[in-house]
Amino acid sequence: MKFFGRSGLAIKTAGIGAALLFSVSAGHAQSASPFAGFDGAWTGTGTVSLSDGSTERIRCKADYKVAGSGLNLKQALHCASDSYKFDLTSDVTSQGERISGNWSESSRNIFGNLQGTAGGGQIDVFVEANGFAANLSLRTNGTKQTVQISSKGEIRGVNITMTKS
């Protein structure tokens, strides 16, 4: 497995990874404690679509720690496909319907912000870093979460399903 064989893909992939990381954490935002039930491990698979029309399978593992009366979440996400991998961390906070946080990809020293809204089982989030932006939509149903991410960059989309272990 090689590390980011395409030029400029590192920042874009880290941003997509951050979006995935945040989306899994925010899945229960409609409850009184938006991160209730998230302590522990999650796994998932899906696809990444690139601007050249190619698609790759992606595998992810996430670990969560809920704090602050259930309003804060610290996370670690590890994802890999056939041509790249990334390791991300985030610190996310909920304030009413608003969701915000910071993320970083340690091996590449990349960091950014997350912000959006949550309600009625639907999460809409904007993820950004220097040179990267993406929109994310998430639907939660029990212990499964479906994540859709779109970007105008080299990585055009991500579709993934995470399941709590």
Inform me whether the pLDDT recorded for 133 exceeds 50.
yes
- The pTM of the full predicted model, rounded to 2 decimals, is 0.71
Which pLDDT tens digit goes with each residue over 6-57? Answer: 445 555 555 555 555 555 444 444 456 666 666 778 899 999 888 899 999 9
Contacting residues for 59 by C-beta, under 8 A, at least 6 apart: 43, 44, 45, 79, 80, 81
Q: Which of 119, 36, 115 has its CA nearest to residue 70?
A: 36
Which pLDDT tens digit goes with each residue over 81-118? Answer: 888 777 878 887 888 778 899 887 776 777 899 998 76
pLDDT at 18: 54
pLDDT band for position 121 (50/70/90)? low
| Average pLDDT across the chain, whole number | 75
Higher pLDDT residue, 55 or 127?
55
Q: What is the DSSP letter of 21?
A: H
Residue 34 in contact with residue 24, Cβ under 8 Å? no
